[in-house]
């Protein structure tokens, strides 16, 4: 027994660290943390490098040509001698497809996010999430191939019918819903029970008739449209909206989830339906997070290259009239991708630098919108946590 204690005592001595050992440990710890910090700062350094190296190649362009031509002229003839570098039409094209994709993806994405967070039971949600992940995972060039080889010919050959069907399917339900609501609102005041009911039915019927005429008229107008080229802004906007959807859905769902149960339960307790709870209580509380989601989704569409390069038609002009989505356009990203092949041989020329100027424009834009969306999310988190 005595021996055992003695050996035990010896062992425990080994656990007491000598000052020298402690110092060595502290140094190792210091170096280790230093390495970790260095690696973590690597990302920040890369961001700085990206800004620096894109700007360094972009600045010579602005030195030689100034800002006015680039931002105000629509003449894009970089290969001519002397070249013209008016990027207005190209910037407009980028904005146009981004707006178009946002118009499709934002309502769809937000309603999908609401459905995922508040409507669907958990078991169904588990199957819906992978669908969104798959949609996000498909490479952009595959979407581009789909847009160019499959969708563009369809749009060219059956453009009118496709537009008409889309109109009926999308606008139809909403218009009839509006008819019911308006009929109710108009008759909600005055009169007694049975009389009011009859007035309402008649009024709703009349409104429904007018609505059907309206739907039919627009549908026929759309049906008569002939799409000359399937590679146009509409095609690109639609495909880009597929690509922006996953971002919008997942970020807005996070933000909807962050709204506490108490708010929802309070609203239900006051007798609101689920729709009313979501629209009047949950959405306002989550609005800033949803705004951040929209900004991120829009950035995804603006920065996308392959789809617009393959399926936008790449013609540098502002469509006539300005909202004509059936016209070909050209975007910043597609111009960079398409022109660098030729401009690369003339490194140092204006043709080369103008592409970096476009890259810088995209970079600055994405940087600002990232900062904004980050601020918004932080602020929402603070408000919701009650600070």
Partner 1 sequence: MNLGTRKILDRSFTAVGITSILLMAAALLVVVVPIFSGGIGAIFFKGTIEHRKIQYNEFEKGSRKVIDRQIAEVTPYRQEVYRILDAFEADMETMEPAEKRDYLSKYKKVRDIVAHLLGPIPGDPEPILLRYQYGTTRWEKAEESLHDLMFVTKWDYSNPEEMAKQYFVPRADEFAGTALAALFPYMEKNLDKMLLPEQTFYWGFLTERSLDAHIFGGIWAEIQGTFFLAVGAMLFAFPLGVIAAIYFTEYARENFFTSVLRSANSTLAGVPSIVFGLFGLAFFINTIKVSDSKSVLAGSLTLAIMILPTIIRAAEEAILSVPRAYKEASMGLGSTKWRTILTVILPAALPGIITGGIISLGRAAGETAPIIFTAAVSVGATIGVADVFTQPTPALSWNIYNLASEHEAANEIRHVQYGMVLSLISIVLLLNLSAILLRAHVSKKLKG
- Residues 207-236, interacting with partner 1 (CB under 8 A): 226, 228
Min separation Cβ 362 and partner 1, Å: 5
Residues contacting 336, CB < 8 A, separation 6+: 305, 355, 358, 359
Min separation Cβ 332 and partner 1, Å: 8
Site string for partner 1, 16-35 (x = CB under 8 A): ---------x---x--xx-x
Concatenated DSSP letters of 272-286 = --HHHHIIIIIHHHH
Q: End-to-end CA distance of the chain: give it in Å, rounded.
A: 62
Whole-Å CA distances, 175 to 105, 167, 170, 179, 293: 20, 11, 9, 6, 28
Min separation Cβ 101 and partner 1, Å: 13
Give the sign of the dihedral formed by CA 113, CA 114, CA 115, CA 121.
positive
Whole-Å CA distances, 301 to 20, 192, 214, 220, 244: 59, 54, 33, 31, 6
Identify the residue among 87, 97, 116, 293 touching partner 1 (CB under 8 A): 116
Min separation Cβ 249 and partner 1, Å: 8
Q: With CB under 8 A as the contact rule, which of the stretches 64-72, 259-267, 283-291, 362-370 interacts with partner 1?
A: 362-370
Q: Is residue 299 a contact point for partner 1 (CB under 8 A)?
A: yes
Q: Is residue 366 a contact point for partner 1 (CB under 8 A)?
A: yes
Q: Are 306 and 140 in contact (CB under 8 A)?
A: yes
Q: With CB under 8 A as the contact rule, which of the stretches 76-84, 251-259, 283-291, 300-308 interacts with partner 1?
A: 300-308
Min separation Cβ 51 and partner 1, Å: 9
Min separation Cβ 210 and partner 1, Å: 19
Q: Is residue 362 a contact point for partner 1 (CB under 8 A)?
A: yes
Identify the residue among 59, 128, 203, 283 touching partner 1 (CB under 8 A): 128
How far is 15 from 13, CA to CA, in rounded Å?
5
Q: Is residue 138 a contact point for partner 1 (CB under 8 A)?
A: yes
Q: Are 296 and 98 in contact (CB under 8 A)?
A: no
Q: Is residue 275 a contact point for partner 1 (CB under 8 A)?
A: yes
Sites for partner 1 among residues 141-200 (CB under 8 A): 141-146, 148-150, 173, 177, 180-181, 184-185, 188
Please identify, using beta-carbon distances, which residue of 181 and 210 lies nearer to partner 1.
181
Specify whether the backbone of 363 is left (phi greater than 0), alpha (psi in -120 to 50) or beta.
Answer: alpha
Min separation Cβ 227 and partner 1, Å: 10
CB atoms within 10 A of CB 362: 18
Q: Are 156 and 320 in contact (CB under 8 A)?
A: no
Q: Are 104 and 245 in contact (CB under 8 A)?
A: no
Please identify, using beta-carbon distances, which residue of 233 and 292 lies nearer to partner 1.
292
Site string for partner 1, 317-356 (x = CB under 8 A): ----------------x--xx--xx--x--x-------xx
Q: Are 353 and 44 in contact (CB under 8 A)?
A: no
Q: Is residue 36 a contact point for partner 1 (CB under 8 A)?
A: yes
Sites for partner 1 among residues 40-99 (CB under 8 A): 40-44, 46-47, 49-50, 53-54, 56-57
Count interface residues toward partner 1 (CB under 8 A): 96
Nearest to 69 by CA among 81, 79, 59, 83: 83
């Amino acid at each position: 027994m005595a021996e055992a204690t003695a050996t035990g005592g010896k062992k425990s001595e080994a656990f007491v660290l000598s000052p020298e050992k402690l110092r060595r440990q502290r140094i190792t710890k210091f170096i280790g943390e230093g390495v970790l910090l260095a690696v973590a700062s690597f990302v920040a350094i890369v961001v700085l490098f990206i800004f620096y190296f894109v700007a360094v190649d972009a600045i010579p362009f602005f030195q030689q040509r100034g800002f006015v031509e680039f931002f105000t002229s629509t003449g894009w003839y970089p290969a001519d001698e002397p070249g013209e570098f008016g990027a207005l039409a190209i910037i407009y094209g980028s904005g146009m497809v981004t707006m178009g994709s946002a118009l499709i993806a934002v309502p769809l994405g937000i309603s999908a996010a609401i459905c995922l967070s508040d409507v669907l039971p958990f078991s169904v949600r588990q199957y819906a999430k992978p669908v969104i992940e798959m949609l996000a995972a498909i490479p952009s060039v595959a979407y581009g191939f789909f847009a160019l080889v499959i969708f563009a010919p369809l749009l060219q050959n059956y453009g009118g019918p496709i537009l008409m069907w889309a109109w009926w399917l999308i606008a139809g339900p909403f218009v009839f819903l509006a008819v019911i609501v308006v009929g109710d609102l108009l008759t909600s005041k005055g009169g007694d029970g049975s009389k009011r009911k009859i007035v309402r039915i008649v009024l709703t019927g009349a409104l429904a008739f007018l609505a059907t005429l309206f739907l039919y008229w627009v549908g026929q107008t759309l049906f008569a449209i002939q799409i000359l080229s399937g590679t146009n802004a509409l095609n690109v906007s639609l495909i880009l909206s597929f690509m922006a959807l996953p971002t919008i859905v997942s970020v807005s769902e996070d933000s909807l989830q962050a709204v506490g149960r108490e708010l929802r339960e309070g609203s239900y307790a006051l007798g609101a339906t689920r729709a009313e709870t979501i629209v009047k209580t949950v959405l306002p509380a989550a609005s800033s997070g949803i705004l951040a989601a929209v900004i991120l989704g829009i950035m995804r569409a603006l920065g996308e290259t392959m789809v617009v390069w393959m399926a936008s038609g790449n013609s540098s002009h502002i469509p006539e009239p300005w909202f004509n989505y059936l016209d070909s356009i050209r975007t910043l990203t597609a111009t960079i991708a398409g022109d660098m092949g030729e401009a690369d041989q003339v490194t140092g020329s204006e043709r080369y630098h103008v592409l970096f100027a476009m890259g810088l424009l995209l970079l600055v834009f994405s940087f600002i919108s990232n900062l904004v969306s980050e601020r918004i999310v932080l602020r929402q988190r603070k408000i919701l946590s009650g600070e």
